[in-house]
Amino acid sequence: MTTPIPDEIQVAKLSIEAAYTALDSLFERLRVMPRGEKVILSDTVHEACLRLKAAKDVLTRLETLPPDGEGA
């Protein structure tokens, strides 16, 4: 039997996926930008990707926690 995912975790997962989609779109737009702007935006997008990965890792850990009142 699997532990159901709380609504908050599911919403967060969907938000992360939406953010990844938006960042992919930004990467496509980088191709036509001037070099100076491209470097600044690339750094910003990279930082956002790192934060999203960290958030995804936290959600993965939260999914493995037992429901309230169970476990240690």
Select from 58, 45, 57 the least CA-distant residue to 19.
Answer: 45
- Domain residue extents for the chain: 7-64
**Tens of each residue's pLDDT in the chain, 72 residues:** 455 567 888 888 888 889 889 888 888 888 888 888 888 888 888 888 898 989 888 888 888 877 665 655
Q: Are 45 and 27 in contact (CB under 8 A)?
A: yes
- Structure pTM? 0.62
**Residue 12, token pair as written in the block:** 């967060």
